[in-house]
Chains A and B, each alone.
Chain A
Amino acid sequence: MINFACKSIFTIFLLILSINSFSHHAFTAEFDANAPVNLTGEVIKVEWINPHAWVHLEVEEAGKKTTWMVEGGTPNTLIRNGLTKQSIKPGTVIVVRGYQSKGKLCLPRCIANGRDVTFPDGRKVFMGSSGTGAPRDGADPRERR
């Protein structure tokens, strides 16, 4: 009897714990932390819009061109980090590290969450937002504080 009561209490505890652990972050709702991407391509379009800026890249792999839409932080955050309308212009070839969306069909284009962008001169800039639940991968300078 005591054994059963203990088991019951433990089960209740575990179940309540599991119910309470469903709180989520914006990143995990849309992007796959287990699908990192490293994209090199030419910028074809930049959307400086809230709540997220979007950088469209044309990535060529094995002779095949694929368009990627990479989500960044808010435009204001990017400007504070040193990314401006002048620095990330169409025609610039950049390298973006990030994570692909949970949906991987790439129809009509592939989607990723951008963590950092590297320019032709080697300058690397954080292009995400802090506190969204993205993996702590060293891209966000605030993580190191």
Chain B
Amino acid sequence: MRAHRTLVVSLILVAVLAVPASAGARRLIIGGSTSVLPLAQKLATAYHQAFPKIAAPKVGGGQSDIGISGAATGRLDIGDSSRDPIRGVDPKGLIFTRIARDGVCVITNPQNPISNLSSETVEGIFTGRIRDWSQVPNHMITGPIDLFDRDGASGTQDAFQHIFLGEALKISSSATAETSNGLEQNAVASDKQAIGFVSFAYTAGVNAAGYRGIACSLRNAKSEQYLGVRNFWMVTKGLPKGEALKFIKWVTSGNAATKRIINSSWIAVH
């Protein structure tokens, strides 16, 4: 009886511990930009639907810099980045493949529905020169401005800095740094006096302010009238290989499924 029990227990143990790690095809691990995150999640689900035998890739966040460094160290199969590669800062040997373009909107709380901000106002607010809503033209509320920034690892912050502020000006250091688009959206949605910036897909529940007279909408971004547009990249160490190559090829192939997904909130490039 006891021998019987020992045998059964050891069989179970052997089964548990000796399962080869490569049982079945390995799932792709994708991570990085929180701006690319919703797009990557939708693409992963659609990829699995198109090829049922291939497991859906696992998509995570962490911001663009984490995606890039993750791809470089091999922790991620594919890294997502919402900023362009920076020579000298990014690790060597990485290949950036463009998959879409995206708009960046300046957002305010719905109780403060500013419809347009000029470039001087945006620069003044985000560098901390303008500290009160009463100093903003067409202001709808008064009170101190609660400024929300993104973390240094954010690609969206890079894009915002580059497009809206230029190279010389820096965002005020007293701004609260959020670590993802979702948190930034939350923060602005729950604070009447808040202002921040997010990727276009995250503008639900907040007011997207126009920039230089052009509304931040998908149509204006596609027609290139709205200026705050940047690239989405998928980053691999060296040229994509194997499963990663299959996935990236499918994403950039411009087939009906990917086109439909990308055009829903982003700008297709293939």
State whether these chains interact.
Answer: no
Residues on A lying within 8 angstroms of B by beta carbon are none
Residues on B lying within 8 angstroms of A by beta carbon are none
